[in-house]
């Protein structure tokens, strides 16, 4: 049977979305979700590199207590640009726009997203916003911190705040359009038999993320626009001198920007569910709970923004409510974590590169999440607010959670996306290096923050130097770890072994089609007949598919 | 997507009626602005504006004739906006309590709208 099946396989491989047309025009005008996913991958990788260079400058500066590498003004610009680029141009689009774009229709058994033109438009909008941010960067940058708090940002800052605000405003539309597209696609284009509760958990994650993108992003867009108006036209909205209220900005900013953390991490959780299920060969324990916890995080995530404002003269009564809800939002995250651990328990675990990332995620995200509860406690937050403890906390969630999940997902679906296998050894080595480098970078920052090192300072008291040097040493290891996948993944495109349709023997529609997938994803009309993660059926489905291919 | 299949043709009369209602609303807002109703000024203006916005959403944007799913989406947007407004306004309402001290809240604004801020003392 295998011999007979081979011609069909090679025939499928002969025309795929990558080799169907090689011209630049075919890429720039493509409506194929897979190609758009690749375009996003390339763009956000560039932004990650730029954001990473800024991060390196920050860590280099902090090696010594005296600010001797950068001037204070320059340092302000460097950490602001690091934050703005990483958050708005890498973390937020990373999983939804790259893996999401590539995988969502494949997982649904659809030929494309619901609105392919809108999908391409969202990439162009992203590029326009990104280009404006690049211009902001070369024309002086911004120095307000990524949070743009007025009245500094609206009146006093002598940097490109308006330009950066407009750039974020524009980029926001890219995010909204992607969310809209995904939501409509999931509602209307599921393959026959693919009920909501048969969907892979990655799709539940994407759906929840889309919800936040659609409901939250307009608020940040209007907030930065209002800031730009205040700055250019002196309309009093946030500046007390003009009759405005700076705390209003914080309310509006965090109404989006806290849920935005979930835009970043929920897709990561979806990726982790897929990896853990495939690498343990078990259905995710408590599938329904994990699915609904994504939605719960998305919804409750909108009710916690005030925990960023405990020390900003927000009402104490309001603070109490926000603190309580913040504690509550930890519950769905914990549900996920416990269910993942329960899935691994007695599973047939293979420690391939994606699984190493998934395991790293479990530990790092737990630390990141738990330290969030420290900060949600109103009393303790007064001590920890605006210290390195906060910096460490959100890097544990953002890097330890989101980026680790993104890299895990990228490795997991790389064979599907490119049709090539990467070097497994190098994959594992780099995953371990990233894990070690990450912890060495950010764990000392918890201690630094607890001891009182404020964030956003370019000089500090000499007592903190040892911890800062440890952190900077970790950052160099982390940078090396991040560079490695860039090298071996690129090398795999030229020298990698050809990937089979289903190299991990995973369950899911995306693994039933060729690697890389044909232009319209499937050479047949997929029908779903099994529950999610029914690994016992993988072989059966594969054999049935081969039979159909041979007879056809 | 499915909403497209049930395209509803709205008679021109309806559009004109809504346009008329919007114009009346605008005239009403301008007219009312000439009188001082104290704290009700903003309330009246916003009520008229909300009614006008609802008409636009229901008829010009065809939500009145759309599928239930579309209505849920619109409803969700409004609900989320309400969360933002509600939580922010409650902060404003009770923020004073903390800084000025309980008890002084009954007095402010209404009696002396142009009076200096309740107190800068202690800050």
**A492 has a pLDDT exceeding 90:** yes
- Is B91 in contact with A247 (Cβ distance < 8 A)? yes
Beta-carbon separation of B80 and A313 below 8 A: no
For residue A167, the enclosing domain spans 2-551
Mutate to test the interface with A, among B79, B81, B87, B123 (most CBs of A within 10 A): B87
With beta carbons less than 8 A apart as the criterion, state whether A294 and A246 touch: no
Do you know the residue count of chain A?
552
Mean pLDDT to the nearest integer, A319-339: 95
| A310 has pLDDT over 70 | yes
Higher pLDDT, A321 or B100: A321
Nearest chain B residue to A215 by CA distance is B77
Q: Are A221 and A173 in contact (CB under 8 A)?
A: yes
DSSP 3-state assignment of B2? Answer: helix
Q: Is B14 part of the contact surface with chain A (CB cutoff 8 Å)? A: no
Q: How many C-beta atoms surround the C-beta of residue A512 within 10 A?
A: 21
Strand, coil or helix: A498: strand
- CA–CA distance, B97 with A214 (Å, rounded to integer): 35
Q: Which residues pair with A498 in a beta bridge?
A: A420
- Give chain A's domain count: 1
Per-residue confidence (pLDDT) for residue A141, from 0 to 100: 92
Q: Are A397 and A369 in contact (CB under 8 A)?
A: yes
- Within 8 A by CB and 6+ apart from B94, the residues are A315, A317, A318
Averaged over B29-52, what is the pLDDT?
92
Q: What is the C-alpha to C-alpha distance for residues A46 and A67, in angstroms, rounded to an integer?
A: 29
CA distance linking residue A108 with residue A103, whole number of Å: 8
Q: What is the DSSP string of chain B?
A: -HHHHT--PPPHHHHHHHHHHHHHHHHHHHHHTTS--TTHHHHHHHHHHHHHHHHIIIIIT-GGGS-HHHHHHHHHHHHHHHHHHHHHHHHHHHHHHHHH-TTTTSSTTTS-TTSPPS--TT-
Distance of CA B123 to the CA centre of its chain: 34
CB contact under 8 Å between B83 and A303, yes or no, is yes
Residues of A in contact with B84 (CB under 8 A): 219, 251-252, 255
Distance (Å, rounded) from C-alpha A430 to C-alpha A301?
33
**Closest among A160, A171, A113, A104 to A136, alpha carbons compared:** A160
Alpha helices, DSSP H, located in A23-157? 24-28, 33-61, 72-84, 92-93, 101-108, 116-138
pLDDT at A277: 96
What CATH number has the domain bearing residue A99?
1.20.210.10
- The pLDDT-based confidence of B38 (bands split at 50, 70, 90) is confident
Q: CB-based contact (8 Å) between B90 and chain A?
A: yes
> What pLDDT score does A82 carry?
97
CA distance A273 to A285: 10
- Chain B residues in contact with A216 by the CB 8 A cut-off are 80
The residue of chain B nearest to residue A312, with distances taken between CA atoms, is B95
Q: Do B87 and A306 lie within an 8 Å CB cutoff?
A: yes
CB spacing of B91 vs A219 below 8 angstroms: no
Nearest Cα of chain B lies from the Cα of A298 at a distance, in angstroms, of: 12
pLDDT value of residue A536: 86
Mean pLDDT of B40-53: 93
ipTM of the complex: 0.83
Is A538 a residue whose pLDDT tops 90? no
Q: How sure is the predictor about A155, in pLDDT bands with cuts at 50, 70 and 90?
A: confident
Whether residue B94 and residue A317 make contact (CB cut-off 8 A), yes or no, is: yes
Give the count of beta carbons closer than 10 Å to the beta carbon of residue A195.
11
Q: Do residues A297 and A258 make contact, with C-beta atoms less than 8 angstroms apart?
A: no
State how far the Cα of A63 lies from the Cα of A224, in Å rounded to an integer. Answer: 34
Kindly state the average pLDDT of the residues B11-24. 95
Nearest to A160 by CA among A244, A231, A57: A231
pLDDT at site A545:
73
Please report, for chain A, how many H helices and E strands are present, in that order.
Answer: 19, 0
Query: What are A211's two structure tokens?
Result: 């919800």
What is the per-residue DSSP string for A425-466? HHHHHHHHHHHHHHHHHHHHHHHHHHHT-BTT-S---GGGHH
- Check residue A193 and give left, alpha or beta (phi > 0: left; psi -120 to 50: alpha): left
Task: Label each residue of A17-28 as H, E or C.
Answer: CCCCCCCHHHHH
Element (H, E) at A270: helix A246-280
**How many CB atoms sit inside 10 A of residue B117's CB?**
9
Q: Is A542 exposed, middle or buried (0-12, 13-18, 19+ CB in 10 A)?
A: middle
Euclidean distance between CA atoms A180 and B75, whole angstroms: 16
Element (H, E) at A204: helix A201-233
Average pLDDT over residues A50-76: 95
In angstroms, what separates the C-alpha of A170 from chain B's closest C-alpha?
20
Instruction: Give the pLDDT mean for A132-158.
Output: 93
Per-residue confidence (pLDDT) for residue A1, from 0 to 100? 29
**DSSP symbol at A235:** -
What tokens does A313 get?
Answer: 């003269």
- What is d(CA A336, CA B52) in angstroms, rounded to the nearest whole number? 44
Distance of alpha carbon A200 from alpha carbon A273, whole angstroms: 9
Q: Does B101 touch chain A (CB under 8 A)?
A: no
Q: What does each C-alpha distance from A288 to A117, A276, A295, A330 come to in angstroms?
A: 33, 16, 11, 18
A420: phi then psi, degrees, rounded to nearest 5: -130, 150
Integer Cα distance of A551 and A4 in angstroms: 10
* Interchain contact, B2 vs A248, CB within 8 Å: no
CB atoms within 10 A of CB A524: 12
Give contacts of A188 with chain B, Cβ < 8 Å: 1-2
Cross-chain CB nearest to B1 (options A184, A303, A306):
A184
What is the average pLDDT value for chain A, to the nearest integer?
93
Q: Is B31 on the interface with A (CB under 8 A)?
A: no
Question: Looking at chain A from residue 316 to 345, which residues have their Cβ under 8 Å from any Cβ of chain B?
Answer: 316-318
pLDDT in the model for residue A18: 93
* A316: chain B residues, CB-CB within 8 Å: 98
Q: For residues A377 and A393, what is the distance between their CA atoms, to the nearest angstrom?
A: 14
Q: Tell me whether residues B1 and A255 touch, CB distance under 8 A.
A: no
Name the token pair of A218: 């307009």
Alpha carbons A278 and A272: distance in angstroms, whole number: 10
Q: Give the HSE-up count for residue A97: Cα atoms under 13 Å, Cβ half-sphere.
A: 36
pLDDT score at B57:
93
Q: How many cross-chain Cβ pairs, A to B, lie less than 8 Å apart? A: 49
By Cβ distance, the residue of A214, A219, A318 closest to B84 is A219
Distance from CA of B120 to the nearest CA of A (A): 14
- Determine contact: A74 vs chain B, CB below 8 A: no
Confidence at residue A319, expressed as pLDDT on a 0 to 100 scale: 92
Å between A318 CA and nearest CA of chain B: 6
Q: Which of residues 107-146 of A touch B (CB under 8 A)?
A: 114
- Residue-level pLDDT at B97: 60
How far CA A64 is from CA of A386, A450, A469, in Å, comes to: 21, 20, 8
DSSP secondary structure code for residue A515 in this structure: S
For the stretch A187-199, pLDDT in tens is 999 999 999 999 9
Q: Which of B77, B91, B99 sits opposite A251 (nearest CB)?
A: B91
Using a CB-CB distance cutoff of 8 angstroms, which residues of chain B are in contact with residue A302? 80, 83
Cα(A550)–Cα(A157) distance, rounded to whole angstroms? 68
Q: To 5 degrees, how large is the angle CA B36–CA B39–CA B41?
A: 50
Q: Say which DSSP state A109 is in.
A: T
| pLDDT higher than 50, residue B115 | no
Q: How far is B7 from chain A (nearest CA, A)?
A: 18
Each residue of A266-280: pLDDT tens digit?
Answer: 999 999 999 999 999
- Pick from A110, A216, A315, A326 the residue to mutate for testing the B interface (most B CBs within 10 Å): A315
Identify the three-state secondary structure at position A262.
Answer: helix
Backbone angles phi and psi of B71, in degrees to 5:
-65, -40
Q: Residue A492 burial (CB < 10 Å; 0-12/13-18/19+)?
A: buried
Distance from CA of A316 to the nearest CA of B (A): 7
Q: Give the number of residues written for chain B.
A: 123
Q: What share of chain B is helix, strand, coil (3-state, %, to 5)?
A: 65, 0, 35
The span from the CA of B81 to the CA of B85, in Å, is 6
d(CA A498, CA A479): 29
Query: Cβ distance A380 to A374 under 8 Å?
Result: yes
What distance lies between CA A533 and its chain's CA centroid?
A: 24
- Residue A80 pLDDT exceeds 90: yes
Q: How does pLDDT run across A437-471, given as a tens digit for each residue?
A: 999 999 999 999 999 999 999 999 999 999 999 99
A251 CB within 8 Å of a chain B CB: yes
**Is it the case that residue A484 has pLDDT exceeding 70?**
yes
**Contact between chains at B91 and A306 (C-beta distance less than 8 A):** yes
| Residue among B76, B88, B93 whose CB faces A251 most closely | B88
Partner A contacted by B87 (CB < 8 A): yes
pLDDT at A44: 97
- H or E segment at A353? helix A353-376
């Amino acid at each position: 049977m295998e011999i007979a099946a081979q011609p069909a396989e090679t025939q499928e491989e002969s025309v795929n979305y990558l080799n169907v047309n090689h011209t630049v025009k075919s890429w720039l005008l493509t409506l194929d979700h897979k190609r758009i996913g690749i375009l996003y991958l390339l763009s956000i990788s560039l932004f990650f590199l730029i954001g990473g260079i800024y991060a390196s400058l920050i860590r280099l500066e902090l090696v010594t207590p005296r600010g001797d590498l950068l001037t204070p003004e320059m340092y302000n610009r460097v950490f602001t640009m690091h934050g703005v680029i990483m958050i708005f141009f890498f973390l937020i689009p990373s999983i939804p726009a790259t893996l999401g774009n590539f995988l969502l229709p494949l997982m649904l058994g659809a030929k494309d997203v619901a609105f392919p033109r809108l999908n391409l438009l969202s990439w162009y909008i992203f590029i326009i916003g990104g280009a404006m941010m690049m211009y902001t960067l070369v024309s002086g940058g911004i120095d307000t911190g990524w949070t743009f708090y007025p009245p500094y940002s609206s009146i006093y800052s002598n940097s490109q705040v308006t330009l950066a605000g407009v750039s974020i405003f524009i980029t926001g539309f890219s995010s909204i359009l992607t969310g809209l597209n995904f939501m409509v696609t999931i509602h209307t284009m599921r393959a026959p038999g693919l009920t909501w509760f048969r969907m892979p958990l990655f799709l539940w994650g994407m759906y929840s993320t889309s919800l936040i993108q659609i409901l939250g992003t307009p608020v940040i867009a209007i907030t930065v626009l209002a800031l730009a108006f205040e700055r250019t036209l002196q309309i009093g909205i946030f500046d007390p001198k003009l009759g405005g209220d700076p705390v209003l900005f914080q309310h509006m900013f965090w109404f989006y920007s806290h849920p935005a953390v979930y835009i970043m991490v929920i897709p990561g959780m979806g990726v982790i569910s897929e990896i853990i299920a495939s690498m343990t060969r078990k259905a995710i324990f408590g599938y329904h709970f994990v699915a609904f916890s994504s939605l719960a995080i998305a919804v409750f995530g909108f009710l916690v923004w005030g925990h960023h404002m405990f020390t900003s003269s927000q009402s104490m009564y309001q603070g109490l409510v926000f603190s309580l809800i913040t504690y509550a939002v930890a519950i769905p995250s914990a549900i996920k974590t416990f269910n993942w651990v329960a899935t691994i328990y007695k599973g047939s675990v293979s420690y391939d590169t994606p699984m190493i990332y998934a395991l790293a995620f479990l530990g790092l995200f737990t630390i990141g999440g738990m330290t969030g509860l420290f900060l949600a406690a109103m009393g303790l937050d007064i001590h920890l607010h605006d210290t390195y403890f906060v910096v460490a906390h959100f890097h544990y969630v953002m890097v330890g959670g989101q980026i680790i999940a993104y890299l895990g997902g990228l490795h997991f679906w790389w064979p599907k996306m490119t049709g090539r296998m990467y070097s497994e050894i190098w994959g594992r080595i780099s995953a371990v290096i990233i894990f070690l480098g990450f912890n060495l970078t950010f764990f000392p920052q918890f201690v630094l923050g607890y001891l009182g090192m404020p964030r956003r300072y370019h000089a500090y008291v000499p007592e903190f130097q040892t911890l800062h040097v440890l952190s900077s040493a970790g950052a160099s290891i982390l940078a090396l770890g991040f560079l490695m996948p860039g090298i071996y993944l690129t090398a795999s495109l030229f020298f990698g072994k050809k990937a089979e349709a289903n190299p991990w023997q995973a369950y899911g529609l995306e693994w039933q089609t060729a690697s890389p997938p044909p232009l319209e994803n499937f050479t047949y009309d997929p029908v779903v007949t099994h529950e999610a993660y029914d690994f016992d059926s993988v072989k059966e489905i594969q054999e049935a598919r081969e039979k159909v291919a041979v007879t056809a | 997507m499915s909403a497209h299949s049930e395209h509803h043709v709205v008679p021109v009369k309806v559009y004109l009626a809504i346009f008329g209602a919007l114009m009346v609303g605008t005239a009403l807002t301008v007219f009312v602005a000439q009188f001082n109703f104290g704290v009700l000024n903003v309330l009246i203006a916003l009520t008229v504006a909300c009614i006008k916005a609802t008409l636009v959403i229901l008829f010009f944007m065809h939500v009145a004739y759309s599928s239930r799913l579309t209505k849920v989406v619109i409803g969700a947007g409004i609900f989320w906006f309400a969360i933002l407004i509600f939580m922010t306004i409650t902060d404003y309402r009770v923020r004073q309590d903390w800084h000025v001290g309980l008890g002084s809240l009954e007095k402010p604004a209404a009696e002396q709208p142009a009076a200096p801020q309740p107190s800068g003392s202690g800050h």
